[in-house]
Amino acid sequence: AGVIRMVVLLITLLGTWFIMQTYFDNRWKVMSLRSWLGQEPPRHKCRNQKSCPPNYFAFKIISGAANVVGPSICFDDIILMSSMKNNIGRGLNIALVNGTDGKLLKTGIFDMYSGNIKKLEAFLQEIKAGTIVLTASYDDPATKMNDKVRAHFVELGSSHVKKLGFRDNWVFLGAKGLKNKSPFEEYIKNDRKTNKYDGWPEVLEMEGCTPKRMH
């Protein structure tokens, strides 16, 4: 029994190392090459590839990597949720932002595998008009998902939440009172044939500029 436990522990550690190395390796190579060439790119808000025009907020949402590396949400150059801030968890990680001034209103972590779905229902129900909603999945975003929760996200502008399933990856930016579908949403299905990690699809990273709410 002791030997079996040691083997399981070794496999787990090797799997964790592989995922973290794969996730960070490409970024490290690009950063090192640019530094060596003396070609440091200009820094944009949230470390995006380009700056946003006036009266727009910059954002970046990164989903979790398997069940190892947590998600992160940046808005107007401020990290709202991340592992470093110790305010993320398995399931759906949601940040609410004032659409006029960009200030953080509230964050929430909702365990979609074994948590109480009523908490998420109440959270979404209380969102006021003009609020920007940023969402990042981690590990499993949908086991507890019900029709009521999906309808709330559809109202916020989601096109993919209706098909969100077990261990799918999803990043989304919507708003309460949005009249059309949000252009800021990415989704990838958990598929054994195409998954990058064992049991999970690859990481999703979405960045862009969202307009300020004007009175």
Question: Distances from the Cα of 113 to the Cαs of 29, 81, 89, 96, 193, in angstroms?
Answer: 36, 20, 11, 22, 23
The confidence score (pLDDT) of residue 172 equals 98
The confidence score (pLDDT) of residue 21 equals 60
The confidence score (pLDDT) of residue 68 equals 87
For 55-88, b/e burial (b = at least 16 CB within 10 A) is eebbbbbbbbbbbbbbbbbbbbbeebbbeeeebb
For residues 143 and 113, the answer to whether their CB atoms sit within 8 Å is yes
The confidence score (pLDDT) of residue 138 equals 96
Q: Extract the residue ranges of the chain whose pLDDT is less than 70.
A: 1-3, 7-41, 215
Max distance between CA atoms of the chain, in angstroms, equals 67
The confidence score (pLDDT) of residue 179 equals 84
Q: Where are the chain's structural domains?
A: 1-36, 45-211
Using one digit for the tens of pLDDT, what is the confidence trace for 103-122? 999 999 999 999 999 999 99
Total-model pTM? 0.81
Q: Give Cβ neighbours of residue 203 (< 8 Å, ≥ 6 apart).
A: 23, 62, 63, 64, 65, 69, 169, 196
